[in-house]
């Protein structure tokens, strides 16, 4: 079965499966490879989950109208844009020289408990020393891979709207 013959439902459920695979690798890297996620990694995981949720809902609903399909693609894209912004910030922190890396801060759990939501977001995006640690996978830092997947999944979501057959 060619990709060109896939329905909207099949394409969106495939997007959901990719998001599940990305989360499975994130958990594998945390618990098997012992790479503890920093706050920015956790925000990227949330973005993958948001995209996966809208891929799943769109795939299960499988609307016939193009306008409704575009709404699902836009919701997937919102999650992906959040992920792109987070991964971009993470890559920028990793590119800083060692003397310009921010000091290590408290964990995300403490930030959630101790600060209002907007202050917590600001502190988390300011970054910390743990976010600047580079752990390459196949020569590319983890946020580089997530950035690539966010772009691919956003494009996939809109192509599914445009090229789906009934």
CATH number at residue 75: 1.20.1550.10
Q: Is 41 exposed, middle or buried (0-12, 13-18, 19+ CB in 10 A)?
A: buried
How many structural domains is the chain composed of? 1
Question: pTM score, two decimals?
Answer: 0.81
**Helix, coil or strand: residue 141:** strand
Q: What is the pLDDT along the chain (166 residues), one digit of tens a residue?
A: 566 778 889 999 999 999 999 999 999 988 998 888 878 888 899 999 999 999 999 999 988 887 888 999 999 999 999 999 989 988 887 777 766 655 555 566 666 666 676 666 666 666 555 666 677 778 878 889 999 999 999 999 999 987 655 5
The Cα–Cα gap between 108 and 121 comes to 10
State which residues form the domain around 118.
Answer: 3-163
Place of tokens 């993958």: 48
The pairing of strands 140-141 and 136-137 is antiparallel
């Amino acid at each position: 079965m060619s990709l060109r013959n896939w329905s909207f439902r099949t394409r969106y459920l495939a997007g959901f499966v990719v998001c599940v695979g990305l989360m499975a690798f994130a958990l594998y890297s945390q618990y098997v490879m012992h790479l503890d996620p920093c706050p920015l990694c956790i925000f990227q995981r949330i973005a993958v989950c948001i995209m996966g949720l809208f891929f799943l809902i769109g795939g299960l609903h499988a609307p016939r109208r193009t306008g409704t399909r575009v709404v699902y693609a836009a919701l997937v894209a919102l999650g992906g844009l959040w992920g792109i912004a987070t991964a971009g910030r993470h890559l920028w922190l990793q590119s800083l020289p060692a003397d310009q890396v921010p000091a290590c801060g408290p964990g995300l759990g403490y930030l959630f408990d101790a600060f209002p939501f907007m202050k917590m977001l600001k502190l988390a995006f300011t970054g910390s020393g743990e976010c600047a640690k580079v752990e390459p996978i196949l020569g590319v830092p983890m946020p580089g891979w997530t950035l690539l997947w966010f772009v691919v999944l956003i494009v996939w979501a809109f192509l599914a709207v445009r090229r789906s057959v009934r």
